[in-house]
Amino acid sequence: MYNDSSVLENWHIAYAFARMLDLSLSETSIQSNEALIAKLNNKRRKSEHNILCNVSIEDFNTIRGLMIEAVLHTDMTKHFPMVNATKGMLQLYEEEGAQAIAWKGLIYMLHMADISGQAKPAPLFSKWTHRCMEEFFSQGDEESALGLPISPNCDRNLTKIPESQTGFIKFVVEPAYQVLGLYIPRVQDEILPIITKNYEHWMKETIQAEGD
């Protein structure tokens, strides 16, 4: 349906707008943006899910475009380019202030929220880890059943959870939050120490597992 491009993220935002407009995904997939906007002017306008039911067509267009852009940037394939780009915006931020980078900053923060499991204090970081890993393993089970290659970290028989989390923190979470801390000092003071503590927890778990 999405030509193998940001499949999960495309599905999420498409489904969100389908629910808002009280449509099925099959209906939205064959309509233009203008046709979707037209739904605002008929009986579906007051759908109980449609938080944009009272905006103008122009504003709906703008908001829809921004929402799509934001959600698609939560795709992990965009993670490292986004971290580098955000780091590169620091000079603009220092010269012209937050307003100059407001939207891109918000997109980055949304992505940070999306990967924030290891930035939460105990016991939340552990609970979110196991929830996420069970989702990954369920995906791996289905891939196996379909005869497809099992995606990284999705094989419940081979993936070691502590080891996967130390790598995730070291190479993905911590560097990204360090960049966020350049713009928001409280992240440096309050969040990065939590990430370090969680990393130490998973390192101990990894060492213990190797010993067993």
Per-residue pLDDT reduced to its tens digit, 127-182: 999 999 999 999 999 999 999 999 999 999 999 999 999 999 999 999 999 999 99
Residue 23 and residue 56: Cα distance in Å, rounded?
20
Residue 112 and residue 124: Cα distance in Å, rounded?
16
Residue 19 and residue 34: Cα distance in Å, rounded?
17
Q: Which two three-digit tokens encode residue 156?
A: 């419940």
Least confident residue range of 1-15, 33-47, 85-99, 139-153: 33-47
How confident is the model at residue 44, as a pLDDT?
Answer: 45
> Residue 176 in contact with residue 83, Cβ under 8 Å?
yes
User: What does the pLDDT average to over 44-62?
Assistant: 82
Residue 190 and residue 194: Cα distance in Å, rounded?
7
How confident is the model at residue 29, as a pLDDT?
Answer: 60
Residue 154 and residue 10: Cα distance in Å, rounded?
21
Residue 50: count other Cβ atoms within 10 Å of its Cβ.
19
With a pLDDT cut of 70, the percent of the chain lying above it is 90
Closest CA to 143 of 157, 154, 135, 158: 154
- The radius of gyration of the chain from alpha carbons, rounded to an integer in Å, stands at 20
User: What does the pLDDT average to over 51-64?
Assistant: 88
> How would residue 1 be classed by pLDDT, with cut points 50, 70 and 90?
confident
How confident is the model at residue 18, as a pLDDT?
Answer: 87
Name residues whose C-beta falls within 8 Å of residue 15's C-beta, 6 or more positions apart in sequence: 25
Residue 75 and residue 53: Cα distance in Å, rounded?
28
> How would residue 207 be classed by pLDDT, with cut points 50, 70 and 90?
very high
**Domains (ranges, CATH) in the chain?**
7-72 (no CATH), 76-211 (1.10.1300.10)
DSSP E strands, 110-178: none
Written as one letter, the residue type at 159 is T
173-195 confidence digits (pLDDT tens) = 999 999 999 999 999 999 999 99
**Mean of all residue pLDDT scores within the chain:** 90
> How would residue 43 be classed by pLDDT, with cut points 50, 70 and 90?
very low
CA dihedral 143, 144, 147, 151 (to 10 degrees): 50
How confident is the model at residue 42, as a pLDDT?
Answer: 58
User: What does the pLDDT average to over 82-107?
Assistant: 93
At 160, is the secondary structure helix, strand, or coil?
A: coil
